[in-house]
Structure 1
Amino acid sequence: MIWTAAFLVVLVSCADPEDYCYDEPSCDPYSWGESFPLCHPLLELHHSPINLDHHMIRNDSLQPLHLEGFEEVQTGHWTLENDGHSVVLRVGSGMAVSGGGLPGTYHTVQLHFHWGGPASNGSEHTVDGHRYPMEMHIVNMKSIHPNVSAALDDPTGLAVLGFFIDVVYADNLHFGHISQKLSSVAHKGQTAKIKPFPMMSLLPKHNMSQYYRYQGSLTTPPCSQAVVWTVYEVPIYISWSQLAQFTSQIFSTEEDAEQVTPLQNNFRHIHPSSGRTVLASRDATLLTGTAAPPPRSALRLLHVVTLGGIALRL
């Protein structure tokens, strides 16, 4: 559909791809506001990502979301792309998200990833100040809007499902649908076709009732404050080698560039909640007096071993 294609251009490419970056002072997240006014932290207050801690309110009405079509194999093909800022999987039509306190039905249009480097974690949201190795975002657009402009002008125009990604030693076979194609999109501008698979196979399907909800923004320019965030408590697990494919084998430059630049640390910095209420679902456990601090990621433990027992704060 035309509006879906236009939406992806705005959300993923965000105007000229050269207009923002993550690792150069002239265009990193702290300077995005110079080119994209909505990204300026002093002009707008409801930025994302945020730190998730025990200062939240349980809402028993926040039950599991209805994920229509997530258990099914969709028709046609999906497209994996390196847009210079992330690896994006465009999923076409056939899936939708509703319920769980969302103000309407949202059509699923794409998912993408944020990660760190070979020796650093790179999730966008943090939990009690701890950053996970990666984070996956499933982006959904409210079905009532006729075009992109209307959705981005609506404070609840988008619904993004955020999933932390942690590491173990064994490959995640379901995640292999994506990781096995990464070599085909190693460089900016490259695309690859992927045969659709059940989206639910990627997700922590037995823990989908445990999540956190708040109102925020896109974490990339234009930083529109149009996102209902649902961040899940239980992470997706992938292997060390699958993680390394992102942190070491994806590049923000074209294949024929004179200097090849690894795409690393593509996450926006944490922003204050600025008085926003962060809600915990009925079954979430990260509440004062109800849960121990979240476990340290296996990645952090590896660093302790490989650096001679000297623990680094990542």
Structure 2
Amino acid sequence: MLPLPVLFLLASSMKIVSGADWCYQSQVTCNHTCTGPDAWGVVSQHCSGRSQSPVNIVTRRILPDERLTPFHFVGYQETFHGRLTNIGHTVQLDLPSNITIKGGNLAASYKAVQLHLHWGKDGGPGSEHTIDGEKFSMEMHIVHIKEQYNSLSQAVRDRTGVAVLGFLFQESASANKKFDPLLNALKYIPQPTNSTTLRGVSLNMFIPHQSNMTKYFRYDGSLTTPNCDEAVVWSLFENAIPLSRKQLTAFSQIRFSNGEPMVRTYRPVQPLNGRQVYYSGGHVALVSTALLITSMLVSSALSLHTTA
């Protein structure tokens, strides 16, 4: 029979590996009651992979890609009733599977699964991705999986099984009224496992107008929480969504399981490790160039015809 100290260590190790104790850096204390981002590789070996997310996007190193055409959004304009839950490390809105996206050089059509957010403290910096080192106020992820799969756990076995649309937020002087239903619902889910129904909302309420969604960054990465599966095609939109300071602060009022305010719910940026980040703006530039050349040729032809 093993001595008690050894049994205790084994039990502790099993508890860590189970993933139940992973947490954000804001929750880590001197007595190490949970496993912070620097040690997520202990929770899941995927978290120590070479294609992890989020990343810092350096704009002078991105490459334009004409294949990154605008997305085709299906069902984003339709209203639905969705379950909003405090899942212990963020708030998550479950989405109807008839909401889909395609285009944007995606490998297939992807159906929506859920929406969640990452934020700072009392409206301070809280995004996961950064652009040229700049951290934004908040970040929203709309998670989709290939239509052939029944769950996220199935989709992550496929290298391109998950497509996440990422949206950055910036502080604005005035409130964004479209977010009122979501913000008003937060008071009903102060503690983990609390949930409420968000009624009569649509995804179009929470994203920029589709005409402002043609510019985005694309790279291959991972989920940003354990198990950190490297199965995500990331599309991070350039145009930020405005929210007032008061609106941003509302997210800091809900709680972690230990009763502390749920703040700084983001993973630090991860190394690119040679991955390339692409930019959809290249498609617009190429189209513009083609139109310019065509216009010049037409003008020349008309000039020659007139002269003749």
TM-score category of the 2 structures, normalised to the smaller one: 0.7 to 0.9
- Report % sequence identity: 36
Deviation beyond 4 Å, 4+ runs, structure 1:
146-149
**Matching of residue 50 in structure 1 with residue 66 in structure 2:** no
Tell me which residue corresponds to 2:173. 169
After TM superposition, give the deviation of residue 80 of structure 1 in Å. Answer: 0.5
Contact 2:19 2:43 (8 Å CA) reproduced: no
Tell me which residue corresponds to 1:35. 43
Contact 1:17 1:84 (8 Å CA) reproduced: no
Tell me which residue corresponds to 2:8. none
Contact 1:56 1:277 (8 Å CA) reproduced: yes
After TM superposition, give the deviation of residue 149 of structure 1 in Å. Answer: 4.4
Q: What secondary structure is seen at the aligned counterpart in 1 of 2:112?
A: strand
Q: Using a 3 Å threshold, how does the CA distance of structure 1 residues 83 and 284 change in structure 2: closer, same or farther?
A: farther
Tell me which residue corresponds to 1:20. 22
Tell me which residue corresponds to 1:202. 206
After TM superposition, give the deviation of residue 46 of structure 1 in Å. Answer: 0.2
Largest Rg, 1 or 2:
2
What TM-score do the two structures reach when normalised by structure 2? 0.80
Contact 2:113 2:145 (8 Å CA) reproduced: yes
**Counterpart Cα distance in 1 of 2:113 and 2:270:** 26
Contact 1:164 1:232 (8 Å CA) reproduced: yes
Q: Give per-residue Cα distances to partners, 1:136-174, cap 9 Å, x unaligned.
A: 000001112355444111110000000001111221111
Contact 2:192 2:255 (8 Å CA) reproduced: yes
Contact 1:167 1:237 (8 Å CA) reproduced: yes
The one of 51, 63, 66 aligned to 2:69:
63
**Counterpart Cα distance in 2 of 1:183 and 1:135:** 20
Equivalent residue pairs, number: 260
Question: Relative to total residues, which structure has the larger helix share, 1 or 2?
Answer: 2
**Counterpart Cα distance in 2 of 1:64 and 1:158:** 18
Report the AA paired with residue 176 of structure 1: D
**Counterpart Cα distance in 2 of 1:122 and 1:284:** 30
Tell me which residue corresponds to 2:259. 260
Q: Give per-residue Cα distances to partners, 1:103-152, cap 9 Å, x unaligned.
A: 00110011000011127311000010010010000000111235544411
Q: Using a 3 Å threshold, how does the CA distance of structure 1 residues 236 and 56 change in structure 2: closer, same or farther?
A: same
The one of 251, 255, 266 aligned to 1:251:
255
Tell me which residue corresponds to 2:88. 84
**Counterpart Cα distance in 1 of 2:232 and 2:101:** 14
After TM superposition, give the deviation of residue 83 of structure 1 in Å. Answer: 0.7
User: Which structure 2 residue ranges, 5 or more long, are not aligned?
Assistant: 1-16, 285-308
Contact 2:66 2:283 (8 Å CA) reproduced: no
Q: Using a 3 Å threshold, how does the CA distance of structure 1 residues 263 and 154 change in structure 2: closer, same or farther?
A: same
Q: Using a 3 Å threshold, how does the CA distance of structure 1 residues 147 and 124 change in structure 2: closer, same or farther?
A: closer
What TM-score do the two structures reach when normalised by structure 1? 0.79
